[in-house]
Amino acid sequence: MENQKSLLSRAVRVIDAISRNRKDLRFSDISRVLDNPSPSTVNKILKVLTEEGVLRKTSEGRYTLGRKIYFWGRVMADHNTPIQIIREQRKYLHEQYRVSVNVFTCVDQTMFCLECYMDSRSPLLYPAGKSLQLQLSVQGAVFFIPPEKLHDPAFLEKEADDHEEPLRVKDLEKMIRYAEENDLQDDFALFYPGMHRFSVPLRENGQTVMTLGVGISVKRTVDGDLSERIVSDLQQIRTRIETSFE
Task: Give pLDDT tens digits for 189-243.
Answer: 887 778 888 999 999 888 888 899 998 888 888 878 999 999 999 999 999 999 8
Residues of each domain in the chain carrying CATH 1.10.10.10: 2-66
Please, are residues 122 and 197 in contact by the beta-carbon 8 Å criterion? no
Domain 70-245 listed as CATH 3.30.450.40: yes
pLDDT of the residue at 181: 95
As to burial, measured by CB atoms within 10 angstroms (0-12 exposed, 13-18 middle, 19+ buried), residue 231 is: middle
Each residue of 12-59: pLDDT tens digit?
889 888 887 778 999 999 999 999 999 999 999 999 999 988 899 998
Domain 2-66 listed as CATH 1.10.10.10: yes
Residues of each domain in the chain carrying CATH 3.30.450.40: 70-245
pLDDT of the residue at 42: 93
